[in-house]
Amino acid sequence: MHIKETFPELYRIRRRPLSIEGVRSRLTNKRGREFWQSLEELASSEEFEELLHREFPQHASEWDEGTDRRTFLKLMGASLALAGLAGCSYQPPETVVPYVRQPEEIVPGKALYFATAMPWTGGATPLLVRSNMGRPTKVEGNDLHPASLGAADVFAQASILSLYDPDRSETIVNRGEMRTYTSFLGEIATALEGQRTKNGAGLRILTETVMSPTLAAQLKDITTRFPGARFHQWEPAGTNNARTGTRQAAGDFATPIYNFAAADRVLALDSNFLECGPGSLRYARDFASRRRTSDGDERETSRLYAVETTPTNTGFFADNRLAVRPSEFNAVVSAIAAGVGAAASSPLTFA
């Protein structure tokens, strides 16, 4: 927008001719460096000074003597009176009911600790959860487990908030209506009874990636009872490409485990192994052990090279990082594979 619309007063002042003699007279006795935002400020005309004064609220440039002692005591007395009235409001009666059979391990004021795991796609993060009077209050890493060594990432620390999320599902919802667990069991039993004659040909089960052995055994039992049923897994951001690549390289589905403490050179191909994934905590610890020099350690400092299409923390810590477009990634990987002796599927090209 033009200054005529945003600051019309200054625009009218600038439209008037500026007195060069007045500016020169003000500069006659000036010594040293001084800075001005405009010639109008240098000229210090009466109109410009009035404009600066009106730029602030009325009486803003005048000294405020503040509130006197009498007014302060009046305000404090009124505040205390209103606080006393609020404290006299009626509170509904509350009853504290003790345990009928108090658990042996619960002692008021003493926390309990439980070893558990946070599932990830392809694994889990071992954790140690502190519980106060039956309520989880803090999540830390399990220092007795080799996968975390007592560390916990931001996802594990924030997972405690999901237990107290007001939007968390509290009941079973069927087509937008809340149902009880008893009604769910009745309807699912009726539906399964109708599938027995068809061996479950019309039964489909959709889940996320299943990492629980108990849930996997239950799903296997269902497919055994209903051979015609189909079980599907889907993840919005899973590791299907990585699992497919592992199958092509090893001949079967497997979960690779890396030893970054023994690696002198690390190449991360669009992999954020220092932040995400079930082994990121151990990977970060092992990778950091090769980046710190210590007395008696004759190993050289490892080097990290990253090729990625999206900025990550792993790329931030890389000694050399190459940012490419997703359309260029296949060509870059093929060129790297050809450089180390593997066959390249396509030549290196840049758009």
Under DSSP, the state recorded for 64 is P
Q: CB neighbours (10 Å) of residue 150? A: 14
Q: What is the pLDDT of residue 348?
A: 43
Q: What is the pLDDT of residue 295?
A: 60
Q: Tell which CATH classification among 3.40.50, 2.60.40, 2.20.25, 1.10.10 matches the domain 112-162.
A: 2.20.25
**Angstrom distances, CA of residue 290 to CA of 145, 266, 271, 275, 286:** 21, 11, 19, 17, 7
Under DSSP, the state recorded for 208 is S
Q: What is the pLDDT of residue 124?
A: 81
Most confident of 31-40, 92-101, 136-145, 165-174: 136-145
Per-domain residue ranges of the chain: 3-28+36-54, 112-162, 169-198, 257-339
State whether the Cα torsion 77-78-80-84 is positive or negative.
Answer: positive
* Long-range pairs of 105-113 with CB within 8 A, sequence gap ≥ 24: 106/133, 106/134, 108/133, 111/137
| 9 membership: H or E segment, kind and range | helix 8-15
How far is C-alpha 258 from the geometric centre of its chain's CA atoms? Answer: 25
Query: Strand ranges (DSSP E) for 262-334?
Result: 265-269, 303-308, 320-323
Per-residue confidence band for 113, with pLDDT thresholds at 50, 70 and 90: very high
Phi, psi of 126 (to 5 degrees): -70, 135
Q: What percent of the chain has pLDDT over 70?
A: 75
State whether the Cα torsion 274-279-281-285 is positive or negative.
Answer: negative
Q: Rounded distance, CA 28 to CA 154, Å? A: 64
Q: What is the pTM of this model?
A: 0.58
**Residues β-bridged to residue 107:** 110
Q: Rounded distance, CA 246 to CA 248, Å? A: 5
Average pLDDT, the chain: 79
Q: Rounded distance, CA 237 to CA 121, Å? A: 9
Phi, psi of 72 (to 5 degrees): -60, -45
**Angstrom distances, CA of residue 163 to CA of 111, 140, 168, 203:** 18, 16, 8, 32
